[in-house]
């Protein structure tokens, strides 16, 4: 019953005689790159813990297609050379059947071409840069979650739906590719959807900055209606806490697309009334999963094991594992029940629909996953010593993802203010 | 006769390295990366002869890596001979300008000014992300090799043996340089700069020459690393990478140019396997190795190696190049 | 028609934190002679050498070498014009052998340096070998200088200066640190080498016996000034000198 | 930029400078006496922050009085200095004083690498945050902007107090005089019977405590995260080199310079903010090679 990774069984045609049965291996080996050191280990460690729990469950049920899964973790924090060298070693020496790489978009960019060279199934399980599949045509890499474009676009939509009178906005993002890219997408979309909003300040303090006092003073003087920050981890925590300590949260609405991963840590520091996103429909109190025993028991087990509720990297990991399982099932069934060849598994990934711990995700033709986006506004609720989400909206992934073959920047330019009302979404409130 | 004997052991060692991938094919890329790094370490060792340590040589590593990348982009893929050369020339050019400034300084100040400059470049690479790709860096297209477009397999083989050849040539030329009058004057800067001035020689000028040589070596290493890795990131200029070069120099044996290669090979192996098998504590493992080397074998791996052969050791320390603990 | 001095100072003055180390020194040094500088400790003898060799810059006054103004010229440029220097504490390259020290000087003197020609094979090798023979140190060629006794280090220090083929050599106490039984022997060698090389020299010395025997001329320093100048005999017979210098030194 | 903004930039700069000074001063003190540039200094900063935050979280969760946060910082800092700094000096650094400076720096680099992983093993990777001290002091409104009393008033006062205490301590107390003597002339001090080993140990522990104290104070305003020490080292190096190695008052002035430079950059040209410390360092060293207050050392020949 604790099986969690239920791959949506997709009906598939049995192509008789077209595939050769490979010998069934004793173990299915999976390599996972994740941050175990450095600031991004706030994502990497929970994801690793989640992977271990979920794989134990898979193996308890006999493994994938009857083959138990063995996992190898690689530290992305060890730097580029070590990561690539280790990636190769796992593929060439250890002979892993699939790789999950990675958290960092930079590492995904590095690994994409390498996976093509090594001809190994590469699931980009957490990285968000929209460029990957817009600028490359990969056969072996797939992304089992959304990318930056739908994540930012849904944030703009939520902001405009909840604050239709928005006049001014400022941004405080980390100074690295994600901070810059996400602002580029956000500001492009905002300009198209509500052209009269004025950007009053753009701050890009360096990654890992310990102090935002000066930026906060400046923002207090400017008093923008909303302040966007796509920061995460310690940087986000520091910014939010300093903003709250100095009363900035009383005068401006914070828009924090990644703050789902910081809610519990922030505790009382994040007051009610601010916008929080989750890079997908990831939330330990997912409004559609309240009665789902598998979901709630996983959340409880995870909390018990790690001391914290699962955050979006854990959910992303669940999606990656679910996709892997789904692809093998699909390929096995396409192969008449016999163990499939490596290429057959790759073929099975295309068009695959699967679900991790949220709604279903579908892999498109360009290997990009289409995932719905959940955002909400913080609310203080008895029984939790940290902020929860209320006034949630779940946006339909198809409508907000850049169409296959288009570049995000160009697609966003085609949007008009009418788009805000045309996008399908569902609303949920806390406890509903 | 002595000269040829002196070259015999390094030559044998290179042959051994050349044979490793034949027996363990998957080590090839790791070895290529280690060889690229060893060029940068060689650069650091050149400066160490003058008693100066730069905690910012990653600057030249990064300058060359990015230059090679941009030249490759402009050429639409590029030719490896051209991109490597462009990287080395860029590193050399920047080092002349920077060198004119930093050669006024010695010891801690020298080290820290280099550190500051490399950090400025690091911040620059992160800031100007529309040009440099920010912290995600830029991917490097696979260049042609003397006009030939190669598949991954042959390209990696060519790159490995090419790097080996490049390292062999660099070792030979650096050895000649260090034994030349200018090279020996570098060591004179370390022991008595006042006297050098009273011989009518500008210590700054000598140090500048050594600085440029070391930057070019670092640059070659950086351009090679970018090509082998297929990506450049600002991390190429990060201060911890400069520290790593110095670390490897000491690990290998700062006095001996062969130590650059020995150190880089061992360091890369330890680092890679530590990251794989002790993912939580690989930094700690490296830290302990460094402590053990400094406290118990300050002449590094080459020192240990020479210690095992007293005869060869004593004949080499004389005209050669070694760093002793200060008296 | 008077002979033009090789080196001439005019009103040379410097002070350190209120202590005057040179207060308007006027002195002319003529070619092919050995001038000894004597005086009590703190009289400014070494300061004078430091000024003449560019290590210190005077606060006022001028220095002329070979008729040209060389005030404030850097040591290494003065060296190239022909002013060399030996030191009270020998300044050697302690990680090199005697021969390598000399080769460095030889390479420096010619300033033609190939980055790939081993230093051991530079054409100046013969010249520096000859100079080592002049200071009777040829048998020490392969010894690391760090191992040598002080007397021999002094000789190598002077040999380094001579390898530059200077016109004028300043020596700061060439026999200090040398056992008194060997002082005459060491200075004998130095004097012989200087004569052979035809180098004019100025040396600071405390030992009156040595001054008497090796100096052509003596200048007496006191409180940053030239108190008296003359032949060794005249100087040693001078009552003020006896009181201020010898009295203290004896 | 009007007068109000100028004043705001000034306030922000001063409070940032206070923290930078507290960290840098320990580095410069250690360098002045031991002549070792301590790369592990950033680790002490991080250890101070981690210790304070983790103990703080535990005791305030158990409803101890908030004012305890202040003595806690001091105790944590001194504890780190003595329990971590002490053994490092005694077991490692004391064996390398005769080595080249390259090797000395590398030893501290190795310690830095080890401590980085040690922090992760002990405290994990999740950011810690403990702001009881800051919340206890409340906020103050200046020119329409809300500041925390902790950052605007308390930190600068602590920085000035540390500066004064160091000055007085070094000049008036016996230990201070011994430290000064060793700083000025190591050989002479040893020759008149000063126990240099003990002076080194004490200085290192004081320096490490200062770094840890900086971390402890910072922990109330910022997330305590893995890798927080690495950035602090580079910044402290810049301060110390600009000031002149070993110069305490210089470190204070340079910290102020860098703090103000940084906050004015945020107001006027945010893109160059990260470069400010390095640009100040380069500019100063171009004009004064030995740093603002450093003494050029001439070799006796």
**Does residue A140 surpass a pLDDT of 90?**
yes
Task: Determine the structural domain holding residue C188 and report its residue range.
Answer: 32-56+71-246
CA angle in degrees (0–180, nearest 5) for C168-C173-C178: 130
pLDDT for the residue A10: 35
Residue range D52-76: average pLDDT?
90
Q: How confident is the model at residue D262 (pLDDT cuts 50, 70, 90)?
A: confident
The residues on A that touch D, with CB distances below 8 Å, are: 36-39, 41-42, 44-45, 175, 202-206, 208, 210-211, 213-215, 217-218, 220-221, 233-235, 237-238, 241-242, 245-248, 265-267, 269, 308
At C16, the pLDDT band (50, 70, 90 cuts) reads confident
Report pLDDT for D243.
Answer: 86
- Whether residue A93 is predicted with pLDDT greater than 60 in this model: the reply is yes
| D5/A237 touch (CB, cutoff 8 Å), yes or no | no
What is the Cα–Cα distance from A130 to D91, expressed in whole angstroms? 52
Question: Residue D227 phi/psi, 5° resolution?
Answer: 85, 0
Whether A303 has a pLDDT exceeding 70, the answer reads yes
Q: Which residues of C23-58 are buried (b: 16+ CB within 10 A; e: fewer)?
A: eebebebbeeebbbbbbbeebbbbbbbbbbbbbbeb
Question: Under CATH, which number does the domain A149-289+372-428 receive?
Answer: 3.40.50.2300
Given this model, what pLDDT does residue D56 score? 92
A94-108 average pLDDT score: 90
pLDDT, one tens digit per residue, over A326-382 is 999 999 999 988 999 999 999 999 999 999 999 999 999 999 999 999 999 999 999
Farthest-apart Cα atoms in chain A, separation: 72
In order of their start, the domains of chain D are 3-298 (1.10.3470)
d(CA D59, CA B318): 63
Specify whether domain B2-310 bears CATH 3.30.1490.
no
Mean pLDDT score of chain D: 87
Q: Does C116 touch chain B (CB under 8 A)?
A: yes
For residue D223, the model assigns a pLDDT of 85
Q: C with D: how many residue pairs have Cβ under 8 Å apart?
A: 7
The β-bridge relationship of strands C34-38 and C200-204 is parallel
pLDDT interval class at B3 (50, 70, 90): low
Check: CB of residue A243 under 8 Å from CB of residue A172: no
Tell me the pLDDT of chain B averaged across its residues.
Answer: 84
pLDDT in tens, B190-209: 888 889 999 988 999 999 99
What would the 3-class secondary structure string for B9-65 be?
Answer: HHHHHHHHHHHHHHHCCCHHHHHHHHHHHHHHHHHHHHHHHCCCCCCCCHHHHHHHH
Give all chains having 3 or more CB-to-CB distances under 8 Å with chain C. Answer: B, D
- For residue D267, give the chain A residue with the closest CA: A218
Is the predicted pLDDT of residue C145 greater than 60, yes or no? Answer: yes
More confident residue, B94 or C46: B94
Using alpha carbons, select from D119, D53, D38, D86 the residue that is nearest to residue D206. D86
Helix, coil or strand: residue C200 = strand
User: What residues form DSSP beta bridges with C64?
Assistant: C8, C69
* CB atoms B129 and A206 under 8 Å: no
Does the structure show a pLDDT above 80 at D59? yes
Residue in chain B closest to D99 (alpha carbons) equals B325
Confidence class for position A267, pLDDT limits 50, 70, 90: confident
Domain boundaries in chain B? 2-310
Across B232-259, average pLDDT:
86
Encoded tokens for C246: 């010898």
Q: Is the pLDDT of residue A18 over 60?
A: no
What pLDDT does residue B307 have? 64
Range A170-180 average pLDDT:
87
B124-141: pLDDT as tens digits: 888 777 788 777 778 788
From chain B, pick out residues whose CB is under 8 angstroms from the CB of D120.
280
Specify the pLDDT at position B299.
Answer: 78
Q: Confidence class of residue D96 from pLDDT cuts 50, 70 and 90?
A: confident
Interface contacts B/D by beta carbons within 8 Å: 127
DSSP helix/strand/coil, C19: strand
Q: Give pLDDT, residue C244.
A: 67
Those residues whose C-beta lies under 8 Å from the C-beta of residue C20, and which sit 6 or more positions away, are: C13, C14, C44, C223, C224
What sign for the dihedral angle of Cα D288, D290, D291, D293? Answer: negative
Check CB contact under 8 Å for C115 and B199. no
* pLDDT bracket for residue C21 (50, 70, 90): confident
Q: What is the DSSP code (8-state) at residue A97?
A: S
The answer to whether position C180 is within a domain reads: yes
Q: How far apart are CA A206 and CA A231, in angstroms?
A: 11
Mean residue pLDDT of chain A comes to 89
Q: For the purposes of burial, counting CB atoms within 10 Å of the CB of A382, is it exposed (0-12), middle (13-18) or buried (19 or more)?
A: exposed
pLDDT the model gives residue D198: 87
CA dihedral (B260, B262, B263, B264) in degrees, to 10, reads 80
* Structural domain boundaries in chain A: 12-127+311-356, 149-289+372-428
Answer whether D274 sits within 8 Å of A45, measured CB to CB. no
Query: Distance between CA atoms of A239 and A259, rounded to whole angstroms?
Result: 11
Please choose, from the candidates D163, D174, D171, the residue with its C-alpha nearest in 3D space to the C-alpha of residue D210.
Answer: D163
Of D263, D220, D207, which Cα lies nearest the Cα of D60?
Answer: D220
Span D247-257, average pLDDT: 89
Q: Is the pLDDT of residue A410 over 50?
A: yes
> How far away is chain C from the Cα of D301, in angstroms, using its nearest Cα?
7
What residues form DSSP beta bridges with B180? Answer: C118
Would you state the structure tokens that stand for residue B143, as one six-digit string? 């260049």
- C-alpha–C-alpha distance, residues B23 and C145, integer Å: 49
Higher pLDDT, residue D294 or C51 = C51
Grouping H, G, I as helix, E, B as strand and the rest as coil, residue D75 is helix
Tokens of A24: 């069934």
- CA geometry: angle B110, B116, B122, nearest 5 deg: 135
Distance (Å, rounded) from C-alpha C100 to C-alpha C119?
8
Q: Annotate A322-336 with DSSP letters as a single string.
A: HHHHHHHHHHHHHTT
CB under 8 A, 24+ apart: contacts of D139-147: D139/A245, D139/A246, D139/A247, D142/D7, D142/D8, D142/D11, D143/D4, D143/D7, D143/D8, D144/A220, D144/A221, D144/D4, D145/A217, D145/A220, D145/A221, D145/D8, D146/A220, D146/A246, D146/A247, D146/A248, D147/A217, D147/A246, D147/D11
For chain A, say whether B235 makes contact (Cβ under 8 Å).
Answer: yes
Question: Binning pLDDT at 50, 70 and 90, where does residue A19 land?
Answer: very low
Which one of B179, B180, B200 has the shortest CB-CB distance to C108?
Answer: B200
Q: Provide the pLDDT for residue B316.
A: 35
| Residue of D106, D238, D277, D295 to mutate for B, most B C-beta atoms under 10 A | D106
Q: Does domain A12-127+311-356 have CATH number 3.40.50.2300?
A: yes
Beta C217-222 vs C225-230: how paired, if at all? antiparallel
**How many Cβ pairs closer than 8 A exist between chain B and C?**
101
CA distance D162 to D133: 19
Give CA–CA dist D74/D72, Å, rounded. 5
Is the Cβ–Cβ distance between A202 and A171 less than 8 Å? Answer: yes
ipTM for this model: 0.80
The alpha carbon dihedral of C64, C69, C72, C76 has a sign of negative
How far apart, in whole angstroms, are the C-alpha atoms of residue A270 and residue A260?
A: 11
Sequence-ordered strand ranges (E) for D75-189 = 139-142, 145-148
- What are D153-206's pLDDT values in tens digits? 999 999 999 999 998 988 888 888 888 888 777 778 888 888 888 888 999 999
User: How does DSSP classify residue B143?
Assistant: P
Sequence-ordered list of residues with C-beta below 8 angstroms from that of B178, at least 6 positions apart, any chain: B46, B49, B184, B186, B257, B321
Q: What is the CATH number of the domain that holds C235?
A: 3.40.50.300
Residue A158's pLDDT band (boundaries 50, 70, 90)? very high
Residue A159 has pLDDT above 50, yes or no: yes
Tokens of A119: 């001809």
pLDDT band at A92 (very low <50, low <70, confident <90, very high): confident
Closest CA relative to residue D170, chosen from D23, D38, D32, D42? D32
Domain-embedded: residue C155: yes
Residue A302: predicted pLDDT: 95
Confidence at residue D85, expressed as pLDDT on a 0 to 100 scale: 93
pLDDT digits (tens, 9 = 90+) for A22-38: 678 999 999 999 998 77
For residue C77, is it within any domain?
yes
Q: Does B123 touch chain A (CB under 8 A)?
A: yes
Check B199 against C113: CB less than 8 A apart: no
* Cα–Cα distance measured from residue A34 to residue D125, given in angstroms and rounded to the nearest whole number: 13
- Specify the higher pLDDT residue, C18 or A66: A66
Q: What is the pLDDT of residue A151?
A: 95
Residue C132 has pLDDT above 70, yes or no: yes
From CA D115, how far away is CA C76, in angstroms rounded?
A: 48
Contacts of A404 by beta carbon, 8 Å cutoff, 6+ apart: A364, A365, A366, A368
Write down the pLDDT at residue A364.
93
pLDDT over 90 at B123, yes or no: no
If pLDDT is split at 50, 70 and 90, which confidence band does A13 have? very low
């Amino acid at each position: 019953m604790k099986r969690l990774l239920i791959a949506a069984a997709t009906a598939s045609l049995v192509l008789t005689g077209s595939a050769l049965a490979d010998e069934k291996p004793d173990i299915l080996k999976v390599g996972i790159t994740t941050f175990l050191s450095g600031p991004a280990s706030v994502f990497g460690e929970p994801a690793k813990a989640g992977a271990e729990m979920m794989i134990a469950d898979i193996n308890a049920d006999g493994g994938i297609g009857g083959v138990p899964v063995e996992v190898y973790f690689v530290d992305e924090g060890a730097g580029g050379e070590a990561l690539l060298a280790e990636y190769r070693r796992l593929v060439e020496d250890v002979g892993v059947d699939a790789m999950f790489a990675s958290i960092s978009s930079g590492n995904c960019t590095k690994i994409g071409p390498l996976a093509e060279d090594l001809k190994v199934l590469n699931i980009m399980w957490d990285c968000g840069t929209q460029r990957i599949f817009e600028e490359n045509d990969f056969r072996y890499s797939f992304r089992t979650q959304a990318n930056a474009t739908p994540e930012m676009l849904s944030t703009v939509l939520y902001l405009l739906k909840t604050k239709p009178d928005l006049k001014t906005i400022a941004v405080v993002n980390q100074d690295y590719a994600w901070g810059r890219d996400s602002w580029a997408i956000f500001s492009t979309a905002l300009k198209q959807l509500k052209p009269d909003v004025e950007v009053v300040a753009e701050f890009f303090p360096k990654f890992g900055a310990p102090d935002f006092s000066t930026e906060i003073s400046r923002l207090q003087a400017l008093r923008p209606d909303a302040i966007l920050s796509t920061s995460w981890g310690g940087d986000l925590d520091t910014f939010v806490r300093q903003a709250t300590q100095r009363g900035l949260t009383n005068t401006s609405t914070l828009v924090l697309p990644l703050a789902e991963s910081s809610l519990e840590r922030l505790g009382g520091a994040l007051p009610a009334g601010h916008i929080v996103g989750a890079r997908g429909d990831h939330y330990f109190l997912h409004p559609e999963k309240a009665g789902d025993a598998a979901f709630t028991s996983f959340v409880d087990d995870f909390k018990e094991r790690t001391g914290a509720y699962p955050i979006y990297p854990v959910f992303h990991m669940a999606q990656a594992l679910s996709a892997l399982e789904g692809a093998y099932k699909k390929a096995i069934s396409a192969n008449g029940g016999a163990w499939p060849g490596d290429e057959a598994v790759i073929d099975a990934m295309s068009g695959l629909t699967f679900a991790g711990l949220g709604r279903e995700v579908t892999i498109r033709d360009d290997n990009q996953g289409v995932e719905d986006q959940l955002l909400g506004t913080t609310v203080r609720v008895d029984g939790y010593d940290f902020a929860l989400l209320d006034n949630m909206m779940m946006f339909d992934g198809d409508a907000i993802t850049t169409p296959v073959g288009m570049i995000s920047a160009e697609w966003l330019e085609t949007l008009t203010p009418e788009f805000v009302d045309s996008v399908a979404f569902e609303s949920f409130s806390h406890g509903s | 006769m002595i000269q040829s004997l002196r070259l015999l052991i390094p030559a044998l060692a290179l042959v051994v390295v050349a044979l490793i991938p034949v027996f363990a094919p998957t080590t090839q890329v790791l070895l290529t990366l280690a060889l690229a790094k060893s060029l940068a370490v060689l650069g650091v060792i050149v400066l160490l002869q003058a008693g100066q340590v730069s905690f910012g040589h990653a600057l030249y590593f990064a300058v060359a890596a990015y230059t090679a990348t941009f030249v490759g982009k402009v050429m639409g893929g590029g030719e490896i001979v051209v991109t490597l050369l462009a990287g080395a020339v860029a590193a050399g050019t920047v080092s002349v300008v920077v060198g004119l400034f930093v050669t006024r300084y010695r010891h801690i100040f020298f080290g820290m000014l280099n550190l500051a400059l490399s950090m400025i470049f690091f911040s620059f690479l992160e800031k100007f992300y529309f040009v440099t790709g920010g912290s995600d860096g830029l991917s490097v297209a696979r260049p042609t090799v003397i006009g030939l477009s190669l598949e991954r397999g042959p390209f990696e083989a060519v790159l490995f043996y090419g790097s080996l050849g490049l390292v062999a040539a660099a070792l030979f030329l650096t050895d000649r340089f260090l034994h030349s009058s200018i090279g020996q004057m570098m060591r004179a800067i370390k022991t008595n700069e006042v006297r050098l001035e009273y011989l009518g020689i500008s210590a700054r000028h000598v140090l500048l020459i050594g600085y440029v040589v070391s930057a070019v070596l670092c640059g070659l290493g950086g351009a090679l690393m970018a090509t082998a890795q297929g990506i450049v990131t600002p991390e190429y200029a990060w201060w911890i990478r400069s520290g790593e070069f110095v670390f490897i120099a000491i690990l290998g044996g700062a006095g001996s140019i062969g130590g650059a290669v020995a150190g880089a090979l061992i360091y890369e192996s330890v680092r890679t396997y530590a990251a794989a098998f002790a993912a939580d504590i690989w930094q700690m493992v490296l830290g302990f190795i460094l402590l053990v080397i400094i406290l118990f074998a300050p002449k590094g791996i080459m020192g240990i190696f020479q210690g095992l052969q007293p005869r060869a050791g004593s004949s080499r320390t004389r005209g050669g190049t070694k760093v002793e603990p200060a008296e | 028609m008077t002979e033009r001095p090789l080196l001439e100072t005019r009103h040379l003055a410097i002070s350190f934190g209120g202590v005057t180390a040179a207060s308007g020194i006027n002195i002319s040094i003529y070619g092919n002679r050995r001038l000894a500088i004597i005086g009590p400790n703190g009289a400014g003898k070494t300061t004078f050498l430091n000024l003449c060799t560019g290590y210190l810059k005077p606060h006022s006054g001028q220095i002329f070498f070979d008729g040209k103004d060389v005030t404030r010229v850097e040591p290494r440029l003065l060296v190239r014009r022909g002013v060399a220097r030996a030191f009270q504490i020998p300044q050697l390259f302690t990680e090199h052998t005697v021969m390598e020290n000399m080769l460095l000087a030889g390479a420096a003197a010619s300033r033609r340096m190939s980055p790939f020609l081993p230093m051991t094979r530079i054409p100046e090798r013969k010249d520096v070998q000859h100079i080592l023979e002049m200071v009777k140190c040829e048998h020490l060629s392969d010894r690391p200088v760090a191992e040598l006794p002080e007397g021999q280090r002094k000789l190598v220090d002077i040999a380094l200066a001579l390898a530059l083929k200077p016109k004028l050599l300043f020596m700061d106490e060439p026999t200090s640190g040398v056992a008194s039984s060997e002082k005459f022997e060491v200075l004998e060698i130095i004097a012989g080498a200087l004569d052979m090389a035809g180098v004019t020299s100025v040396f600071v010395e405390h030992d009156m016996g040595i001054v008497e025997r090796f100096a052509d001329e003596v200048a007496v320093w006191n409180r940053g000034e030239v108190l008296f100048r003359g032949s060794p005999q005249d100087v040693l017979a001078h009552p003020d000198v006896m009181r201020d210098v010898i009295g203290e030194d004896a | 930029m009007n007068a109000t903004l100028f004043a705001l930039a000034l306030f922000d700069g001063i409070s940032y400078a206070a923290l930078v000074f507290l960290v840098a001063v320990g580095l410069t003190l250690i360098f002045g006496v031991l002549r070792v540039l301590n790369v592990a200094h950033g680790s002490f900063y991080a250890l101070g922050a981690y210790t304070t935050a983790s103990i703080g979280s535990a005791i305030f969760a158990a409803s101890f009085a908030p004012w305890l946060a202040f003595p806690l910082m001091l105790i944590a800092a001194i504890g780190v200095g003595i329990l971590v700094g002490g053994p490092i000096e005694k077991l490692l650094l004391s064996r390398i004083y005769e080595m080249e400076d390259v090797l000395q720096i590398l030893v501290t680099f190795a310690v830095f690498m080890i401590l980085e992983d040690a922090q992760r093993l002990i405290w994990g990777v999740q950011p810690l945050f403990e702001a009881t001290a800051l919340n206890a002091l409340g906020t103050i409104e200046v020119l329409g902007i809300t500041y925390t009393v902790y950052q605007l008033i308390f930190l600068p006062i602590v920085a000035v107090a540390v500066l004064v205490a160091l000055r007085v301590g070094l000049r008036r107390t016996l230990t201070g005089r011994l430290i000064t003597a060793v700083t000025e002339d190591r050989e002479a001090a040893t020759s008149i019977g000063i126990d240099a080993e003990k002076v080194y140990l004490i200085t290192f522990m004081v320096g490490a405590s200062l770094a840890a104290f900086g971390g402890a104070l910072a922990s109330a305003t910022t997330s305590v995260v893995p890798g927080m020490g690495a950035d602090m080292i580079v910044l402290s190096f810049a301060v110390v080199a600009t000031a002149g190695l070993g110069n305490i008052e210089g470190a204070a002035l340079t910290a102020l310079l860098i703090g103000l430079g940084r906050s004015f950059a945020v107001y006027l040209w945010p893109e160059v903010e990260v470069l400010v410390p390095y640009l100040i360092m380069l500019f100063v060293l171009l004009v004064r090679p030995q740093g603002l207050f450093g003494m050029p050392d001439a070799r006796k020949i």
